[in-house]
Chains A and B, each alone.
Chain A
Amino acid sequence: MAETVEFELVSPAELLLSEKVEMVVVPGGEGDFGVLPGHTDMISTVRAGQIDIHDGGKVTKSIFVEGGFAEVTSERCTVLAVSATPVADLDANAAAQRLEAATEAYKAAEGSDDEPKAKGELDIAEAMVVATKSN
């Protein structure tokens, strides 16, 4: 067995996942980053996208998160997600509908105080549609 990192995925409501993995790829605010054992200590934002857990050179689990934070140390990777769903459970239709609604809301909010919020929702919906297509 290769060296592993302790990966934890937590949402406000519960501890969703806590297991030892070989590598995990997290969608950071500045681009995806992979975490292997011995990673430097880091705190990063997480944008909406999918977290891939790699074991034995393959992706064993993909989970969609709606943004949050990641804390990485040499033996641990903790992701605090706003909400998380396994990619396999995502509903393509629901995602498409959400994107539609978000696009409209963004258009309506453009230039107003609500713009950043609408933009955030739009980003989440877009990432969700992308995640459903990768299935």
Chain B
Amino acid sequence: MANLKDLKIRIDSVKSTQKITSAMKMVAAAKLRKAQLSAEAARPYAERMERMAGSMARSFDGVDGAPALLAGNGSDQNQLFVVITGDRGLCGGFNGNVARETRRQIRTLQGEGKNCKIICLGRKGRDALKSEFGDMIVDTYEDLTRNGAQYDDAEKITDRIIGMFNNGEADVCTMVYTRFQSAMTQFVTPLQVIPFPTSSIKEVGAETAAGGLYEYEPSDDEILNDLLPRNLAVQFFRGLLESNASEHGSRMTAMDNATRNAGDMIDSLSLVYNRTRQANITSELIEIISGAEAV
């Protein structure tokens, strides 16, 4: 039978774990609110940027001489993945799901004989992928979301990626991030950012078709050359914000479960503890009584 003292120690240790998980849950809840607000605040810009880029892209649709960022450079041999995860663990399946989706995509592309490269935004993504694809990871950015995602960081990353694109190191760029829906539900989403996805051209095209064509000032080429890198930065920025909100949501749910499990464990351990104690008392009483009877 389990020793009373051991049981007591066990209960105390589960209790302190429970305190930690419930504190983490509350911290995550507070951070989630902030991250959610900034993710929502950033949506108008991204939406309008996409509308603008889409309606401009439509006018270049199928035309020769469109900028390479828009139409691609005609090759899809070198695939670049931008994998957005968190820097810390203890957030349920959040980091693992992103890594799994990336792995799946890379395997498929490798099967087709493509070269893949990875840029990790977030330490956990690198940790998860380095054992298998260590030689493909060209860069890792960490601590991007410590004080909430910053637009400047997104711009830096964009510069790096456009550099790779212009050097011919990458032909197609896909961002793998986690789209935030609620604290309970998030979706891992691969999103192609270079070349400009044709699906959104069609979507936006249908919407603005009634609005007629725009005049461009200075010229459509110049605007597009300026707009496309910025659109890219906005996409990455949005990816960071959404992933950040998802991370906190996921952590909150995970820690809530952990707190509840710790509670269940404490209950069942306490029951064993009380039973054991009562059994000890009873056996002591029996000893005393039988001792008294024997006299």
Contact = CB atoms under 8 A, between A and B. Distances in A.
Nearest to B222: A45
A71 B46 CA distance: 14
A83 to B, nearest CB: 8
Chain A: number of interface residues, binned into ranges: 20 to 34
Interface in B15-54: 38, 41-42, 44-46, 48-49, 51-52
Contact of A29 (B42, B151, B217): B217
A12 B217 contact: no
Given A11-B45, A12-B151, A15-B41, A41 B234 contact: no
Given A11-B45, A14-B42, A15-B45, A30 B215 contact: no
Most chain A beta-carbon contacts within 10 A, residue among B56, B154, B227: B227
Interface in A9-32: 10-15, 28-30
Contacts of A30: 217-218
A128 to B, nearest CB: 17
B48 A10 contact: yes
A42 B44 contact: no
Most chain A beta-carbon contacts within 10 A, residue among B211, B214, B227, B234: B214
Contacts of B44: 8, 10, 14-15
A80 B217 contact: no
Contacts of A29: 217-218, 222
B56 A80 contact: no
B237 A69 contact: no
Interface in B250-282: none
Secondary structure dominating the interface of B: helix
B218 A80 contact: no
A78 interface: yes
Given A10-B44, A80-B48, A43 B214 contact: yes
Nearest to A74: B211
B133 interface: no
B211 A41 contact: yes
Contact of A43 (B42, B45, B215, B237): B215
A69 B56 CA distance: 13
Contacts of B51: 71
A42 B217 contact: yes
A32 to B, nearest CB: 12
B212 interface: yes
B216 interface: yes
Contact of A28 (B45, B217, B227): B217
A73 interface: yes
Contact of A45 (B42, B55, B211, B217): B217
Nearest to A12: B151
A14 B49 CA distance: 13
B237 A12 contact: yes
A82 B38 CA distance: 16
Contact of A13 (B48, B55, B151): B151
Given A41-B212, A41-B214, A41-B215, A10 B223 contact: no
Interface in B209-246: 211-218, 222-223, 226-227, 230, 233-234, 237
A40 interface: yes
A30 B215 CA distance: 13
A12 B71 CA distance: 25
Given A13-B41, A41-B215, 10 more contacts: A10-B45, A12-B46, A12-B237, A14-B42, A15-B44, A42-B217, A69-B226, A69-B230, A71-B48, A71-B51
Which 8 A-B pairs rank lowest in CB-CB distance, beginning with the nearest?
A14-B41, A44-B217, A15-B44, A12-B151, A10-B45, A42-B215, A43-B214, A41-B214
12 contacts: A12-B46, A15-B44, A29-B222, A41-B214, A41-B215, A42-B215, A42-B217, A43-B223, A44-B216, A44-B218, A69-B227, A71-B214
